[in-house]
Amino acid sequence: MDSNGIAKTASLKNGNEMVSLKEILMKEIPSLKEPRHIISLGAGVQSSTMSLMAKHGEITPMPKAAVFADTGGEPRKVYRWLDWLEKQLPFPVYRVDNGNLKEDIIDATEGKNKFISVPFYIGKGKEKKIGMLQRQCTGTYKINPVNKKIRELVNLAPGKKSKKVSIVLWQGISLDEIQRARVSHDRWQEYRYPLIEQKISRQGCLLWMKKNNYPEPPRSACYFCPYRSNRGWQKMKLNDPKSFLDAVSIDRKIRNGLPTLSKGSELYLHRSMKPLDEIDFGKAKAKVQQVLWDEFEEECEGMCGM
> Does the pTM exceed 0.75?
yes
pLDDT tens-digit series, residues 73-114: 999 999 999 999 999 999 999 999 999 999 999 999 888 876
DSSP 8-state assignment for residue 193: -
pLDDT, position 34: 66
pLDDT, position 112: 87
The list of the chain residues with pLDDT below 70 reads: 1-34, 114, 125-129, 285-306
Local structure of 116: helix, strand or coil: coil
Local structure of 133: helix, strand or coil: coil
Residues 6+ apart with CB under 8 A from 240: 75, 76, 77, 223
pLDDT, position 303: 56
Enumerate domains of the chain plus CATH numbers. 11-295 (3.40.50.620)
Rounded-to-integer distance, Cα 53 and Cα 77, Å: 22
